[in-house]
Structure 1
Amino acid sequence: MSTIAQRFIKDVALVTGAGSGIGEAAARRFAAEGAAVAVIDINATAATQVAQSIVDAGGRASAYSADVRSAQSLDEAVATITKEYGEITVVFTAAGVAGSKIPSHELPDDAWFGVLDINLTGTFFTIRAALPSMLRGGGGSIVTCGSTSSFVATLGGGMAPYRASKGGVKMLTQTLAMEYASKGIRVNCVCPGAVVTGLKQNTATLVPAGVTDSALQVAGGNKLTVPMGRYGEVNEIASVAAFLASSDASYITGQSLLVDGGVTAE
């Protein structure tokens, strides 16, 4: 399928949010490096299309429709995955939403929980579902998806649920890393800045759908200043997730790696 390194030739990789955006890019990257990929998304059609395109390109992948807000949905998906491919060794939790820019004093309960239930609880549910399989298999690597909002709260209101959820993902990552280090499971977090996805779920900055030129997007009126002069691309985030999941990062756990074009260095 690819001439790039085959770091995951013996691995089974579970990727949530894999029907589009960063999750899709990561699923393709893991497959290109030899993994059997479980493409999980709430959108069954999108998951099927991604999995089929991976297979058509010579890779190994199957689609699974699951809602990360539902522990039962994830448990059922994991049971099917392990029957098809064996024990899970890699997990990347890319499912997420940004939510709405509603001032905190006006924020309804459903807007709060709508973000937390996917970004934070969904991350935990995914990992919890996969952990028994990983423990049976002798270990593996988990990569969560944080954000620059895991570290900083920039000017501007209305992002309390998103920022709280991503801060929680960072601490969940550190906690699980400590809890499972002795079991051979590493847990790290990739923290993107603004990324061109055509969607809203992978960045705190609302990215206009259909815009694909990252330099033009920054120049087109967004107030976020990126020192590198452009937004990130999904493949740039996927490559970092693949690094953290691979044996190249074998002595790294509990870390949150910013991939933001220098935004948080200012």
Structure 2
Amino acid sequence: MLDDIMEDYLRRIGATRPEKADLQGLRHVMERHILSVPFENLDYHLDEEIFMDERVLDKIVRKSRGGGCYEVNPALSFLLEALGYEVDILPGRVQRPDGLGPFLGHLALRVWIDGEAWLVDVGFGRNSRFPLRMDSREAQSDPHGEYELRDGEAGAVDVYLNGKPLYQVHDRPVRIADFAPTLWWYRTSPESSFLQGLFCSIRTEDGLVTLKGNTQMSRVAGSERSKETLEDDAAAFEAYKQHFGIALDRLPKEPNLGVTTGVRTE
């Protein structure tokens, strides 16, 4: 039987507990997670600590928050393991304008079902809505676009969306704790993309809602796109609550939004 916080986790994302640890159940849980848990970096600008271990469950489940890949993917791994899935933590390298970023710069999941490996990632911003079959080199259609996995160097797999590279994952599993030095860099370096930009983004059934800074709101719904500038702090508080389910008692500090962050949220 799942413990209380895992039952609350399922309620948090509006998911039904799978009857067994199969692909159908994985697709359901991943989709509900994508549509319920924001991809956001608010705590980097609220001077709050970032947890990758089981303590992150309090943030995701109890506080109805989201996070970056170091938070939401570990949190999902704890839920999937509680549901009976076999899960590996995979290290990744994010594709940047000047090439691949550092090793351990991204954290993704590999889930095994009946001997087949599936890539599960709910913490990238442009990740797929459903699991991607890791042994396939054919285009895989998803509500978020056409994904393709290509063989990289030394056992790595390159992930592409609509023909453009997103990131690379390596097939040798690591521990969550192995990401601690990189998390420290993201938390402290002036070059950290998570410190250079403030963002909160969530997928909807037919699109995407994003708030950059505390003022720049954009929405995509099918073929419709809109943008607006929020008038004041009260509007920002309301936007976080209404669109992302996040109740804040103070707004995160806005960085210099003129800096190119390297983090894509749409």
**What's the TM-score once normalised by structure 2's chain length?**
0.26
More helix by share: 1
